[in-house]
Amino acid sequence: MKILPQHPSHPGENRYRIEKKENCEEKTLSFNPIVIPPSPENPARYLVIMLHGWGADAMDLAPLASMLDLADCQFLFPNAPFDHPQVPGGRAWYALETSDYQGLVPSRQQLHDWIISLEATTGIPLERTFLTGFSQGGAMTLDVGLSLPLAGLGSLSGYLHGEPHPQGPQNVLIVHGKQDPVVPIAAARQARDLLLGLGVNVEYHELNMGHEIPIPALTILRQFLRNRLETA
């Protein structure tokens, strides 16, 4: 998916410094998001942040804004902070070549801080903000989102980095493909079971699909968001 949104914009880039790591040069982290506002007759009352997967960029998920068709919602599609090691122009939230998720710590902290900062820049409180993501973006959604008082989290073909520590009540959607060759379905089931055991409200769906976002998955995400909009 590489369709340009009608009115993309790139507001403050929220840049940060990170320390030099073994495979990550010292650089400036920038999320440089694509912003898609609602129609002029519907002022933004809710914020939906969507995190792309490993090797993609913000443009990959941007077409979903029009497909989700949620009035009163402003969409933000940030770019992951690191260059992908093999895909020209691709981005990564952290390295997957090593078992220690190199780059995850600064990426996690800066994403957390950036989301908090959006309340001041958009005027939309965290309680009316949704965080969603696909694949590695789904993993970042669970990692960062569980520590914030957000309206809801959506993980599509995602996974957990480790045992989570939810802060307060949480509403989480997990959608995963039974035939996913990249992130096995076992990862989704493990995430579901761990979160349920911690008292998280989990809506869980297994679909006959691979590592992708087909219309049935998008329909489930849209309904989840719509249901939460009514209570946020």
> What are 161-189's pLDDT values in tens digits?
988 889 878 999 999 999 999 999 999 99
Q: What is the pLDDT of residue 5?
A: 33
Q: What is the pLDDT of residue 116?
A: 96
Domain 32-229's class? Answer: alpha beta
Give me 220's structure tokens.
């489930």
Who's near 157: CB < 8 A, 6+ residues apart?
A: 53, 134, 135, 138, 175, 176, 177, 180, 182, 183, 188, 211, 212, 213
For 172-231, give the DSSP string.
EEEEEETT-SSS-HHHHHHHHHHHHHTT-EEEEEEES--SS--HHHHHHHHHHHHHHHTT
Q: What is the pLDDT of residue 29?
A: 57
Q: What is the pLDDT of residue 83?
A: 87
Do 138 and 59 form a contact (C-beta atoms < 8 A)?
no
> What are 2-41's pLDDT values in tens digits?
323 333 333 222 322 222 333 444 344 568 999 999 988 8
Is the Cα dihedral 182, 184, 185, 190 positive or negative? negative
Query: Strand pairing partners for 177?
Result: 207
For residue 32, give Cα distances in angstroms to 29, 57, 106.
9, 11, 16
Q: What is the pLDDT of residue 231?
A: 81
Using DSSP, state whether 67 is helix, strand or coil. helix
Strands 73-77 and 34-36: antiparallel
Domain residue extents for the chain = 32-229
In this structure, what are the phi and psi dihedrals at residue 50, rounded to the nearest 5 degrees? Answer: -125, 125
Do 34 and 77 form a contact (C-beta atoms < 8 A)?
yes
* Low-confidence spans in the chain with pLDDT less than 70: 1-30
